[in-house]
Amino acid sequence: MDLGAITKYSALHAKPSGLVLQYGTAGFRTKAEHLDHVMFRMGLLAALRSKQTKSTVGVMVTASHNPEEDNGVKLVDPLGEMLAPSWEEHATCLANAEEQDMQRVLIDISEKEAVNLQQDAFVVVGRDTRPSSEKLSQSVMDGVTVLGGQFHDYGLLTTPQLHYMVYCRNTGGRYGKATLEGYYQKLSKAFVELIKQASCSGDEYRSLKVDCANGIGALKLREMEHYFSQGLSVQLFNDGSKGKLNHLCGADFVKSHQKPPQGMEIKSNERCCSFDGDADRIVYYYHDADGHFHLIDGDKIATLISSFLKELLMEIGENLNIGVVQTAYANGSSTRYLEEVMKVPVYCTKTGVKHLHHKAQEFDIGVYFEANGHGTALFSTAVEMKIKQSEQLEEKKRKAAKMLENIIDLFNQAAGDAISDMLVIEAILALKGLTVQQWDALYTDLPNRQLKVQVADRRVISTTNAERQAVTPPGLQEAINDLVKKYKLSRAFVRPSGTEDVVRVYAEADSQESADHLAHEVSLAVFQLAGGIGERPQPVSCLY
C-alpha cells in the first residue's frame, strides 16, 4: 500500500469537515455534492475487499428512487450480494475518517480482515443517469487505482445489471457472459422460449406500458427490447427525454402515493408497470372500467410467481421445498393468502433485501419480495439437478422441467431486477392466460398507510421480531398496542429508516379511513415518546 500516494490523492477528494454518514441498507446516500470523498474511499475499500476475497467486486453509483440531486454508492460482493456486515462497518469508519486518520483506518481494516496487500484487485463500476454520477464514478476509479487495483468501467448500467456482471465474472462464465449483450441474450432467450409454450398468448398479452422513472431503466430497456420483441412489445414512458428523475413517477412514487405516474396515458384495463430510478424495483397497476386505480405491488408479484413455481414443482413431483420471504410491510392479506390458500410457508425478515436474500437461500426455491417491488427468486442446485435428470421423465414432467429451466435463466439470481421480473411476470401471465384483473383478484389488499415522523435521533427506536415490535423507547409498543385495538383487522409498527433520517410508521386496517387514522395516531405516539422535532404529525387528510 503506497500510503504517500493515498494521502496525496485523498487530499484531492477531501472530506467536508463534520460530515458523518452511515453505510445503511442502501449503502451511502445523501446530496451529491457531499459524496466525492465517499466515492474515492469506497474505491479504496472495494480494492481491499477484492484483494481479500481474491474476486471481482462491484461498485454502483446511484441513489435509486431518491431525488435527482441526491446520489449514493453501494458495494457489491463477489456473488452479486450486498456487502458483508463487518465490511459495512469498515465502510462507515472509512467514510467518516478525518483526512489525517485515513492511513490508520486503512491499515486497521487490512489487518482486521487479513488482507494480503500484494494480491491483485479487480473492481467493476456502474452508474445511473444522474448528472452527478459520471464524475462520482470517476472518483471511485481513482480510489481503486491508488490502491494498485484494476477496474472496468461499465458506464451506464441498472443496479441489477452490475450485480449480474459481478456474479458472471466470479463464476467463470458459467452463469452468463459479463457483458450487456450477454445479459440481454440470456434473459431474452429464456423469455422467448417460455412464451412459445403459451397456448393463449393472444394480443392482450403482447403489449405493456412501462414508466421508467426518467431513469436508467429506459435506456437499457430500449437497448434490449428488440431482443424479445417477438414475445412482447413495450411502450416506454418517462424515458428521461423531458422529465426529471423519479419526479412524480417511478415505482416508489406509485407505491407510496397509490396513484399512477404522471406522463403516462392509461386506458381502462391496460397493463402498466413502473420501474424505480435504478431499475431494481417494479410494481404493476391498471385502471378499471370505472376509472379506479388498482396497484399490484411486490406482495402480489410474489404471490403470482410463487404459485406458478409451486405448480411446476408439483408437476415434476419431487419433494423440493418452496418458501416466500417478506418483510413487515407485506400486506396482511398477502401473507394470509399465501399461507392459508396457497399453503406456501411464509417468513418475515427485517427490511433490506440482503436479509430477504439470505433467508430465501434456505429453500430449494426461495421467492422474496419487498412490498415496494424489490425482489427475485433463487434456486438451489437440487432444482438444477432435478432439471438435468428430467430427460428420462414422461412428456408432461419434461415440459414442466423445461419451463423451470427457462424461468431460472430469466430470474436475475444476483439481485432483484425490474427488467428480469417484468419478463417473468409477462411470461407467467401469458402461460396461465391470466389478465391483469384476474391476477389482481387473487386477494384484496387491506387498506394501508405509510407515514414518516421526524425525530431528534431515530436510533432511540429499537425493534425486535423482524421489526414488528418496538423495544425502546419505553411505553411506545404499549401505546401502539392500545391504538391497534381500536380498529378492525388492524396492525401497525414503527421502525427507524435505514436510508432517510426519519422514523417510518405503517398501519393497515379494514378501511382506508381507519388505516389513515391509525397511522396518524401512531405517528403522534412516536412524536411524543421518541423525541419528535418540528411540526406535530398532521392527519393524513391534510397530507394527501
Known binding-site residues equal 64, 276, 278, 280, 370-372, 495-499, 504
- Pick between residue 89 and residue 500 the one whose CB is nearest to Zn ion: 500
CB contact at 8 A, 302 and 333: no
Q: Give the distance from CA 258 to its chain's centroid.
A: 19
* 330 touches ligand NG1 by CB under 6 A: no
What is the C-alpha separation between 65 and 221, in angstroms, rounded? Answer: 18
- Pick between residue 171 and residue 450 the one whose CB is nearest to Zn ion: 450
CB contact at 8 A, 433 and 202: no
From the list ligand NG1, Zn ion, none, which binds 59 (C-beta under 5 to 8 Å, kind-based)?
none
* 278 touches Zn ion by CB under 5 A: yes
Q: Give the distance from CA 168 to its chain's centroid.
A: 19
CB contact at 8 A, 311 and 431: no
Find all residues with CB under 8 Å of 193, minimum gap 6, and list them: 406
Whether 64 sits among the annotated catalytic residues: the reply is yes
CB atoms within 10 A of CB 301: 26
* 22 touches ligand NG1 by CB under 6 A: no
What is the C-alpha separation between 243 and 239, in angstroms, rounded? Answer: 8
Instruction: Kindly tell me which residue out of 370, 426, 467, 521 binds ligand NG1, with binding defined by CB under 6 A.
Output: 370
Q: What are phi and psi of 372, to 5 degrees?
A: -75, 0
- Find the part of the chain contacting ligand NG1 (CB under 6 A) among 54-62, 342-350, 485-493, 499-507: 499-507
Instruction: Kindly tell me which residue out of 497, 512, 524, 528 binds ligand NG1, with binding defined by CB under 6 A.
Output: 497
Distances (CA, A) of 87 to 56, 91, 204, 500: 15, 6, 48, 21
What is the C-alpha separation between 359 and 352, in angstroms, rounded? Answer: 12
* 128 touches Zn ion by CB under 5 A: no
Instruction: Kindly tell me which residue out of 329, 369, 411, 527 binds ligand NG1, with binding defined by CB under 6 A.
Output: 329
From the list ligand NG1, Zn ion, none, which binds 497 (C-beta under 5 to 8 Å, kind-based)?
ligand NG1
Q: Strand pairing partners for 211?
A: 237, 274
From the list ligand NG1, Zn ion, none, which binds 280 (C-beta under 5 to 8 Å, kind-based)?
Zn ion
Q: Which amino acid is at 374?
A: H
Site for Zn ion in 35-74 (CB under 5 A): 64
Residues 286, 161, 414, 463: is their CA dihedral positive or negative? negative
x/- binding map, residues 500-529, to ligand NG1, per CB under 6 A? x---x-------------------------
Site for Zn ion in 279-308 (CB under 5 A): 280
From the list ligand NG1, Zn ion, none, which binds 191 (C-beta under 5 to 8 Å, kind-based)?
none
Residue 270's SS3 state is coil
What is the C-alpha separation between 422 and 415, in angstroms, rounded? Answer: 14
CA-atom Rg of the chain in angstroms? 23
What is the C-alpha separation between 380 and 401, in angstroms, rounded? Answer: 14
* 119 touches ligand NG1 by CB under 6 A: no
- Pick between residue 349 and residue 351 the one whose CB is nearest to ligand NG1: 351
Site for ligand NG1 in 51-90 (CB under 6 A): 64
What size, in residues, is the chain? 544
Residues belonging to the binding site for Mg(2+) are 64, 276, 278, 280
Q: State the nearest-atom distance from the C-beta of 253 to ligand NG1, in Å.
A: 12
Task: Give 147's Cβ-side CA count (13 Å radius).
Answer: 34
User: C-alpha cell of 43?
Assistant: 474505491
Catalytic residue of the set 64, 137, 306, 307 = 64
Q: State the nearest-atom distance from the C-beta of 488 to ligand NG1, in Å.
A: 24
From the list ligand NG1, Zn ion, none, which binds 500 (C-beta under 5 to 8 Å, kind-based)?
ligand NG1
* 220 touches ligand NG1 by CB under 6 A: no
From the list Zn ion, ligand NG1, none, which binds 217 (C-beta under 5 to 8 Å, kind-based)?
none
Q: Which residues bind Zn ion (CB under 5 A)?
A: 64, 276, 278, 280
Q: Which residues bind ligand NG1 (CB under 6 A)?
A: 25-26, 64, 329, 351-352, 370, 372, 374, 497-500, 504
